[in-house]
Structure 1
């Protein structure tokens, strides 16, 4: 491997990738909490100093949602997107961290900090690959887009949605979520709903009992928990899952509540798609409404529909990622993930996406999030080689 120019480039870039990752971790960019401007400005300046023109994407309200760089090859060909989020999860209890979450402390071969794994190191790796590809653009058949989202951890995915709504043809997206054991080729879909459960308002001290919306909602929670779900199917190991994730209703002490809202998250598979999931929710609602005849019917508000998806292992991105990983001594296996991700959204647009192959990590979204520094260079080499092969002459 010592004579391989891609491997050599990754080794040369390692110090710079670590430095950029460190800089970004030291700029808090928690989704929905921090101002994203400083992180976007720092990364944009870094890219411009290396000859890459970055442009901001903004929401309809004018808020920044992503940074985009387009690298065009000299010859026509496919178009691939490297996608990583620049915003992060919250810090949680800062006192519980061994090293402050924005310290980017490097200790015993590990780099610590919130967002270091998800996904600021991927931002740094992809940025360096972008610089390398731009320097060789005259040899590329096609183009590469760097897409760095700052609206991912809010759950809105505003950057990705803004970009892909008018991006034109895209042959594939590689998302830089961490973890080197697998190439994530699919994921369970998700159906999310708010169930607005109605009771009858009255004084809590009154002598006549009236239907309490919270009690009715509790009955609905029980009904949902007892619902029968199908098991796994061939080729898609994860099973469906239904979870009540939030309950809100009532106020004070003296009023019997007439409204209680449940948030319900249904993870979808080919055995339980969005239509079947919706039918399941409505059947549970109907059963409880029937048992509470003196209350208005429950209102079902559907908020999210993302399909389950799974790429074939013969898909070009999957094949080249796996092949390149083998060249550098890695052996990731294809995996269909339990959690949903932006790959599910892209599947709904007909765009194939891998949603994870990256650095070794611990503590994702948890206390003491960290990455193993030694895993950076091999990951960079894998993605770099993959893109060179995907954009080579056919």
Structure 2
């Protein structure tokens, strides 16, 4: 693949240039206005006559851009996906450079979004521009989704794309999360719920013995933490990770003199094929029932499911994983398939029956943390891998 890598190296300067412009426009999920970063992308796409349009959610809010390249022959569509909203900055004073620096130092592109995933967004736009010249010769089509509702957890761009009656649903998706050692081909699912624990209100100085809502909630946390979940060896599908239960939030009470009558907690359960959403909900409801029997309250403990996603895992010979793995090998990259612990858009796509890879890109540091940066030395090879994978899927190689 040396010729492809050399050609990609010539593209690298303009890929980095567009990524720098994107990084310099803050687009933190749920915080910043997305118009500036979207305007940069729309200007770039329009200048190159790449067909694109905005995507909106059910409330009319813009949630992404969709680029669509129609092939000249019938065939399946494939999609590249990268988010252009970002995580928040955290403590800006703790960064050693500006989170919106968008500069290059010692071969590293620096700033929030450099790794996740403005560099990938720029790369995918360039690949679309390259393939636009060959559109009449390939089968099916290529879509590039540029999501601005990913870090909020709403995944509005992906949902709007999949629900758009004008868009052709893709046969598979490659998501541009960074990391060069592995191709993410799967992830644990999730089941999330908010639990409301009740108790009689009272004065903390009362002569009566009262068990407040916080104490009852603390007991429930202890019960949940004590549950033994099945291990990977118990999974009939060979899924390599075990389920996991975590209490992620606890809210209740105010001041010092009042025993609160309500305390709420959030529970996050990571799912596997052998431990699904029904199993997770049953486990949590059993723990709540045990609490109510041990420490009765004025009302039963209430469980409100919030979200659920299935786990997913692609076979190594399943597209688009097979195309991406083969292209990586051709480029001399020994990337191993990985099933990730955290969930991602691949889980959302799995709900729609769409296979997805959820990570392959340049090496990085500081993703979602301090001093986020991306290693540009490997950009030509990563670019060539994605381009060749897409070309293969479109019947061009």
Q: State the TM-score bracket (shorter-chain normalisation).
A: over 0.9
Equivalents in 2 of 1:235, 1:122: separation in Å?
31
Q: Name the counterpart of 1:50.
A: 48
Equivalents in 2 of 1:30, 1:348: separation in Å?
27
Work out whether residues 289 and 295 of structure 1, in 8 Å CA contact, stay in contact via their aligned partners in 2. no
Q: Name the counterpart of 1:229.
A: 229
Deviation at 1:168, TM superposition (A): 4.4
Q: Secondary structure at 1:193's aligned position in 2? A: strand
Deviation at 1:342, TM superposition (A): 0.8
How has the CA–CA distance of structure 1 residues 21 and 393 changed in structure 2, closer, same or farther, with 3 Å as cutoff? closer
Equivalents in 1 of 2:91, 2:75: separation in Å?
48
Work out whether residues 190 and 266 of structure 1, in 8 Å CA contact, stay in contact via their aligned partners in 2. yes
Equivalents in 2 of 1:331, 1:138: separation in Å?
33
Q: Name the counterpart of 2:191.
A: 191
The CA deviation string for residues 160-215 of structure 1, in whole angstroms up to 9 with x for no partner, is: 11111234432001100000111111000011000111111123333223330110
Q: Name the counterpart of 1:285.
A: 288
Q: Name the counterpart of 1:219.
A: 219
The CA deviation string for residues 301-351 of structure 1, in whole angstroms up to 9 with x for no partner, is: 001110111011011311111111111111111110111001011111111
**TM-score (norm. length: structure 2):** 0.96
Q: Where in structure 2 are the equivalents of 1:88-237 lying within 5 Å?
A: 88-166=86-164, 167-232=167-232, 233=235, 235-237=238-240
Structure 2 residue ranges without an equivalent (≥5): none
Q: Secondary structure at 2:117's aligned position in 1? A: helix
Q: Secondary structure at 1:116's aligned position in 2? A: coil
Equivalents in 2 of 1:308, 1:332: separation in Å?
22
Deviation at 1:64, TM superposition (A): 1.2
The CA deviation string for residues 33-89 of structure 1, in whole angstroms up to 9 with x for no partner, is: 111110011111111111112211112222211111111011111111101110101
Equivalents in 2 of 1:95, 1:393: separation in Å?
49
Structure 1 residue ranges without an equivalent (≥5): none
Equivalents in 2 of 1:171, 1:47: separation in Å?
24
Equivalents in 2 of 1:280, 1:174: separation in Å?
34
The CA deviation string for residues 232-270 of structure 1, in whole angstroms up to 9 with x for no partner, is: 136321111111111111122332101111011101112
Q: CA RMSD in A?
A: 1.4
The CA deviation string for residues 129-176 of structure 1, in whole angstroms up to 9 with x for no partner, is: 010111110111110111011111111111111111234432001100
Work out whether residues 103 and 112 of structure 1, in 8 Å CA contact, stay in contact via their aligned partners in 2. yes
Work out whether residues 231 and 271 of structure 1, in 8 Å CA contact, stay in contact via their aligned partners in 2. no
Q: Name the counterpart of 2:272.
A: 269
1:297 aligns with one of 300, 303, 313: 300
**TM-score (norm. length: structure 1):** 0.97
Work out whether residues 104 and 113 of structure 1, in 8 Å CA contact, stay in contact via their aligned partners in 2. yes
Deviation at 1:288, TM superposition (A): 0.6
Q: Secondary structure at 1:118's aligned position in 2? A: coil
Q: Name the counterpart of 2:359.
A: 356
Work out whether residues 319 and 355 of structure 2, in 8 Å CA contact, stay in contact via their aligned partners in 1. no
Equivalents in 2 of 1:115, 1:294: separation in Å?
47
Equivalents in 2 of 1:309, 1:54: separation in Å?
30
1:375 is the counterpart of 2:378: yes
1:336 is the counterpart of 2:335: no
Equivalents in 1 of 2:297, 2:273: separation in Å?
38
The CA deviation string for residues 1-36 of structure 1, in whole angstroms up to 9 with x for no partner, is: 45x3x3343122100001111111111000111111
Q: Name the counterpart of 1:15.
A: 13
Q: Secondary structure at 1:153's aligned position in 2? A: coil
Which deviates more from structure 2 when the two are superposed, residues 202-211 or residues 104-113?
202-211
Q: Secondary structure at 1:313's aligned position in 2? A: coil
1:84 aligns with one of 67, 82, 85: 82
Work out whether residues 84 and 118 of structure 2, in 8 Å CA contact, stay in contact via their aligned partners in 1. yes
Deviation at 1:92, TM superposition (A): 1.0
1:325 is the counterpart of 2:328: yes
